[in-house]
Amino acid sequence: MSAHCQLTGARPGFGNAISHSHRRTSRRFDPNIQRKRYWLPSEGRHVRLTLSARAIRTVDSIGVEAAVARIRARGGKV
């Protein structure tokens, strides 16, 4: 599963892990990605979306129809 959100486009950030001796090594900050299944009434089917935890809250507030419309407007496939 790729670490990016279909709705918000959140992707991993990159930076350094700094040890006690202050040596820097590369690290990744991954978004909290979940796979969630929603019922899409307009199409009469379920859709499985790969969303960040923040995007799941967005879907709860705007609704699944509006969220799928946003994903499709970004060029994503649902």
Neighbour tally for 52: CB within 10 Å: 22
Tokens of 6: 């279909």
- Residue for token pair 């499709």: 72
pLDDT tens track for 8-66: 999 999 999 999 999 999 999 999 999 999 999 999 999 999 999 999 999 999 999 99
| Owner of token pair 């599963």 | 1
Structure tokens at 16: 């350094």
Q: Which residue has the tokens 């960040």?
A: 52
